[in-house]
Structure formats: C-alpha cells, structure tokens
Structure 1
C-alpha cells in the first residue's frame, strides 16, 4: 500500500512538472529538458536514465510545436537540416562520453558540474542582455540583426530566412558543439541553439524558435533512440511528463499572442540560474552528506519552473483582462 502511494505521488508530480514545462515550451520554444534532467538526477535516478529520459521528453514535446511553427512559416528548413546533421553527430559523441564516465563512476559528478557551468553561463548572458535591451531606447540595433558569426566569410555561404548569409562550416561547427552537449547532458539543445541562432547567426526570434523546435524534434528523437537501445529511457517518467506538457504547451502557445517575450526574458534567465544553483546544492549535499540539501535542490528546480510559468500565465491574464476592458470603450467611440 505504501509503495502504491509513493507511485501515485510520483505520477502526480511528473504530470504537474510536465504541465509547468509545457507552458515554458509553448511560450519560449524550448523543450525543458534542461530542467527535467537535473531534476531526475536530484531525485536519485541513474545519470544514464536521467539523460535518456530527458531526450525522450524533448522529442515528445517538440513534435506538436514543430507542426505549429511550420504552419506559420517560421522555419528555415536549410538551416534546420544542416543543424540536425551536425547536432546528431555530436549527440553520439556526447553519449559515448556519458557511458565512459559512467563506467568510471564519475558520470553523476561530471554531468552535474557541467550543468552548473552551462546553465549559469547561459542564464547570466541572457539576463545581462535583457537588462541591456531594457536600458536602451531601441533594441533593434545593427549588431542584433547581423549576428556575430555572420562576419566569418568562409564559403560556401547560405542565406538565412530573415537574416544574413552564414558560412556552412560555421553552422556545422556550432551544431556539433551543441550536439555534444545535448548528448552529454540530455538536453535537446534549445536553450543553446536559440542564443546561437539569434545572436550568432542574426536569425529573427520567431524563425529561430521554429527552426530550433524542428531541429530538436529530429535530434531529440535520435538521441532518445540511442539511449533507449542501452536501457536509458524510463517510460514511467516520460509518459506522465508528456501528459502534463501536452496541456501546458497549449497554454504557453496561447500566451505568445498576449505577452511580449521580452517582458519575461529576465525571468527565464533567472530560471536557468536557479537550475544551476539547484544542481550545485545537490552536489554540496552529496559531498557533505546532508540529505536535506537534496530536498532543497528539488524544491529549487520545481520552484523555478513554477515561478516562470506562473509569470507567463499571470501576465497573459493581465493582458487578456486589459483587452476585454478596453473593448466596450472602443465600441462607443
């Protein structure tokens, strides 16, 4: 009876967590595995299962989003194809790295440390950039549109949808690095590819989201298949997460029509930073032998997702209320 109660509690928690991540995915276009994988590690699941299940979750959440953005014309198929090839190759390299570290008993520690550094760096970058934009009179500058990597003119070059021309070799290099990290950390690469395409390639945000989702649908599917063949995917985790995210993604997608993404970019950056803190707290708990820190770490991760998804829903309701309030006034004019 006690085992049944624990099972129901886990099922409910995974569905609820999936709901929160689905909201974030529908709004930001990122699969959420950067929260799922460290959460599973914090809960005590083996690194291989945490990474593989995270990739499987990415694959499931991305399919619907990819179809939606395709219908809106927000996908650069050439860029997605090039990124998919290089990211897939990188995933295989990252997977081999995880298995090698696992055989040495170092996978948990190394992956956790990598998460701390990566989430912290990306979160800090996005937070600083969002503050910079908020302090500028106009954020539509030439540097934002051109992209850092567009200055590398090594042929062959391709023209990007709504952006400048980019060297194919640069795209392959960026995709390979992201793929290695995706296979090593169990992430779809969305929170890495988005900044790379927007700031590095100069792709518009809408196109970056659509292209990113299409790419992680393919790479996430390949990555989860590779892990599943080695017993690294736990369907008892993935299925309830997907059940919750299916509803959450609809809420998040609807919110994109109401709330400006720039309005809560800072919240998203804070969520990444809290994810890094959570993994750090867990590692400190392991090192010091303090079990309570494991609970604190899990609370931080779930709290981060709840905080940002709550901000999305709250701002959406506020905008919706404002629209409904102004409608009668406009009819009387």
Structure 2
C-alpha cells in the first residue's frame, strides 16, 4: 500500500512537471493515476481530478494574467456555459448514471467501466491533438467580430464532456478560442487556463454536495502537483516544449489503448 501511495505521488509530480513544461495535457493523466495507482473509485477520481486540474490551472492562469496574456472578455463568455455544464454534470448527471449500463449475455458493462472507456476516448482525441502539434507562430490579426453564440455553445459542450471525465479539456478549448474567438495561439493557451480553472473548481462544488471528500489526501496530492509545475517551468528553459508535446502525445495514445484493453479484459 505504501509503495502504491509513493507511486501515486510520483505521478502527481509528473503531472505537474508536464503541465509546467508544455502548458497543458498533463491533467489527462490525473484520473489514471488516481484509479490505477491509488485505487480510487473512477467516479471519485474524476471529482478529485477536477480539483487538481482546477487548482493547477489557476496557478498557471495567475502567471499569465501577470504577463497580460489573458483575454478576460472571451474567458467570461466561454466560462459561464462551461461551468454551468460542469456543475450540472457533476451534481445531477454523473450521480444519475446507473451502476450497470448494459449487459450482453454474461458480460456486464458497469458505470465505472463506462466512465473509464469514455475517458480513454477523450484521451485518444487529446493525443492526436498533441501529436499533430499545429502550434503556429502568432501573427498579427485584424480586428474581427467574435462569434459569441458559437463560443457559448462550444463552452457548454466542453463543460459536459470534461465534467464526465474530470479533465481540463485544453485540447478542446484552445482550438475553439483560436477559430471562434480569433485569439493568437499564446493568448488562447493562456486564456484556456483561466477557463479550465473556473469551470473545474465550480464543477467540483457539485461533487462536494454529493460525495465525501478526503481533503488531507486531495490537498497533499495537489500540493505535489503544483510543486511539479514549478519544476516543469524551470526545466522549460532547457527542453524544447514542442518536441516534448508530440512525444507526450504518443504516450497518452498508448495510455488510452491500455485503459480500453484493461477495462474490457477486467
């Protein structure tokens, strides 16, 4: 048990280091670390992940606000539907999912299996986004009319998806901010962290109201992850983040395949 706890906290440190190095993506590992290393129930793991992701993103967002990289107007328009959707998902939808989703003969798919497989599918999408790594250099952009209705709808959809799996969803948010809000890539990444922080932490409130939280464990795990962020930011001076992001994308792809195989051969 001690060994698995140590492995879990090492995982927390790695999550933070990855976040500090490439500015996102590391949070996609939070649920697998909770479930497979610390043996936390998947539903509880997605709740804990929202807190870890939210606090970690908030640390990054504060740094970006100090640098003047956050577009507050877009963040507010995107965050409002996103945090409403996450809160509804955590407070009402996740608790309402039946313990047994469906049965095929002797084979039964449980709620926990369903959540982990759905999470793995989200990981697959995230991995392709990181492997493609289409971060183009920022170019001056002409003033455009922001497509706020589409931003609002996208925010709600992202809130629903990430509410179920407990992920940050930067791989969904950043393209939306670039395409719909016409933000340069650096501003999109910085603004996405503020959106992730707001929606994740407010969504976690829905969990506080429906389940008991082991605060000592959760706060210590989060503290280790935040320490990892600062290590990652320091390492970023010596390591090419874009190359690392692509390599990490392949790792996430393998992790997603592992989760699917493990859940269906459970």
What is the TM-score of this pair, normalised by structure 1? 0.68
How far off is 1:102 after superposition?
A: 4.3
Q: 2:78 aligns with which of 52, 75, 83?
A: 83
Is contact 1:14–1:237 with CA below 8 Å preserved after alignment?
Answer: no
Q: 1:110 aligns with which of 104, 111, 114?
A: 114
How far off is 1:10 after superposition?
A: 4.0
Is contact 1:20–1:245 with CA below 8 Å preserved after alignment?
Answer: yes
Match of 1:209 in 2: 189
1:318-333 matched pairs, under 5 angstroms = none
Q: Secondary structure at the match of 2:97?
A: helix
> Are the structure 2 counterparts of residues 165 and 145 from structure 1 closer, same or farther at C-alpha, using a change threshold of 3 Å?
farther
Is 226-235 or 212-221 further displaced after alignment?
226-235
> Are the structure 2 counterparts of residues 162 and 176 from structure 1 closer, same or farther at C-alpha, using a change threshold of 3 Å?
farther
Q: Secondary structure at the match of 1:211?
A: helix
Count of paired positions:
256
> Are the structure 2 counterparts of residues 74 and 258 from structure 1 closer, same or farther at C-alpha, using a change threshold of 3 Å?
farther
> Are the structure 2 counterparts of residues 282 and 181 from structure 1 closer, same or farther at C-alpha, using a change threshold of 3 Å?
same
Q: 1:180 aligns with which of 152, 160, 174?
A: 160
Q: Secondary structure at the match of 1:73?
A: coil
How far off is 1:208 after superposition?
A: 1.7
Match of 1:97 in 2: 93
Match of 1:30 in 2: 24
More helix by share: 1
Larger radius of gyration: 1
Alignment partner of 1:271 is 2:251:
yes
Is contact 1:31–1:61 with CA below 8 Å preserved after alignment?
Answer: no
Is contact 1:49–1:234 with CA below 8 Å preserved after alignment?
Answer: no
> Are the structure 2 counterparts of residues 233 and 199 from structure 1 closer, same or farther at C-alpha, using a change threshold of 3 Å?
farther
**Using the alignment, how far apart are the partners of 2:219 and 2:26 within structure 1?**
15
RMSD: 2.7
**Using the alignment, how far apart are the partners of 1:172 and 1:16 within structure 2?**
37
**Using the alignment, how far apart are the partners of 1:89 and 1:15 within structure 2?**
31
Q: Secondary structure at the match of 2:168?
A: coil
Match of 2:107 in 1: none
1:199-238 matched pairs, under 5 angstroms = 201-231=181-211, 233-238=213-218
Match of 1:40 in 2: 34
